[in-house]
Amino acid sequence: MMAVPLMDEALKAELRALYRRADRHYHGLGHIDELLRLAGDHRAALADPEAVEAAIWFHDAIYDSRRNDNEEKSAALAADRLADRTDAQRLRRITDMIEATARHVVPDIADEAARGDAALFLDMDLAILGAQAEIFDAYERAIRLEYAWVDDTAWRAGRGAVLRSFLSRPRIFHTELFRQSHEARARDNLSRSLAALAIREA
């Protein structure tokens, strides 16, 4: 008897429908496709690439910019849909990765290889911060659209706090791979975006 795959086409179709919602200006299929591309590029560095793929598919499945429990709800959806497809320990690693996207801190997973997968997954999720300036700027505009219900004053304060929180970290990225390739540009992008917020405020 063949093992049930973690992610089959029926499950992907269910998730694609969620990512195609009209309010998904950034957290949509384009983001998922980019993460799957990155996971493919770095597949050799992953101990469990299928688990990382599942985390990618589910990590923004539930997304409402007015709520602060999206990651928890996305992890719960993954736990429900994947419960009969893998063992409990592996499923917990997947849900830990999903929940870790709330603060982008590597979860406390005992297994070193699984921690490495989580670190690389989180870095791939933040790769947009270290993208070329025009791509990062398009990302910032898309995030603003997802928070269109927030007035400009509150947006500048809230978004500014998020950008400063990343800049205040000793390292934005967890892996040496992404620190080498993305860290410097991410700091440039974040600083430039903060300056733009301040100009609009003035």
pLDDT in tens, 17-51: 999 999 999 999 999 999 999 999 999 999 999 99
Whole-prediction pTM value? 0.95
Distance separating alpha carbons of residues 197 and 202, to the nearest angstrom: 9
Phi/psi of residue 5, each to 5°? Answer: -70, 150
pLDDT band at 75 (very low <50, low <70, confident <90, very high): very high
- Average pLDDT of the residues in 111-121: 97
The answer to whether 128 and 189 are in contact (CB under 8 A) is: no
The answer to whether 144 and 153 are in contact (CB under 8 A) is: no
Within 10 angstroms of residue 149's Cβ, the number of other Cβ atoms is 10
Residue 69 has pLDDT above 80, yes or no: yes
pLDDT for res 198: 87
pLDDT for res 3: 66
pLDDT for res 1: 40
More confident residue, 109 or 154: 154
Of the chain, the percentage scoring pLDDT greater than 90 comes to: 94
Question: What are the residue ranges of helices labelled H in the chain?
Answer: 9-19, 29-41, 49-58, 70-82, 88-100, 112-125, 133-146, 152-167, 176-201
Angle at 8 between CA 76 and CA 113, to 5 degrees: 65
